[in-house]
């Protein structure tokens, strides 16, 4: 059973940066996607970034493109989300997830992911 543990959340001012980490255990697949999702209070969970682990292709939602960067360390089996130029609207619980699929088609589709971390809170103040 895959276990995903996020870390790195916190509180920052607008314009600041945070780096989230997701350590995967019991999950050794490097042939599918891993992604980051977020859920703000009263809103649906949305996919913000994903990485196709085999080739390192990355995918982003329009809301974070150019500000967030997803990357991986295959040796450490860890996925990262570097978040720059943070805005108050980025405030949410951020979740790491492992997908059953690879590539772009379902990269940011919540239903495609079958293993989830417990989440880490990111709060951006204006």
- What integer is the mean pLDDT of 71-87? 95
Task: With a cut of 70, say whether residue 28 has pLDDT above it.
Answer: no
DSSP class of residue 30 equals: -
Query: In this predicted structure, what is the pLDDT of residue 13?
Result: 98
CA 119/CA 60 separation, integer angstroms = 19
pLDDT in tens, 93-113: 999 999 999 999 999 999 999
Calculate the average pLDDT of the chain: 94
Which H/E stretch holds residue 5?
strand 3-7
The answer to whether residue 27 scores a pLDDT higher than 70 is: no
pLDDT digits (tens, 9 = 90+) for 31-72: 899 999 999 999 999 999 999 999 999 999 999 999 999 999
Report the pLDDT averaged over residues 2-16. 95
Share of the chain above pLDDT 90, in %: 90
């Amino acid at each position: 059973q895959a276990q995903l543990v996020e870390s790195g959340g916190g509180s920052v001012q607008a314009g600041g940066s945070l780096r989230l980490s997701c350590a995967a255990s019991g999950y050794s697949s490097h042939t599918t996607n891993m992604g980051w999702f977020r859920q703000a209070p009263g809103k649906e969970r949305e996919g913000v970034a994903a990485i196709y682990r085999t080739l390192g292709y990355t995918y982003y939602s329009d809301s974070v493109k150019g500000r967030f960067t997803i990357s991986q360390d295959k040796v450490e089996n860890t996925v990262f989300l570097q978040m720059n130029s943070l805005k108050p609207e980025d405030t949410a619980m951020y979740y790491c997830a492992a997908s059953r699929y690879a590539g772009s088609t379902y990269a940011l589709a919540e239903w495609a992911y079958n293993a989830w971390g417990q989440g880490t809170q990111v709060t951006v103040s204006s």
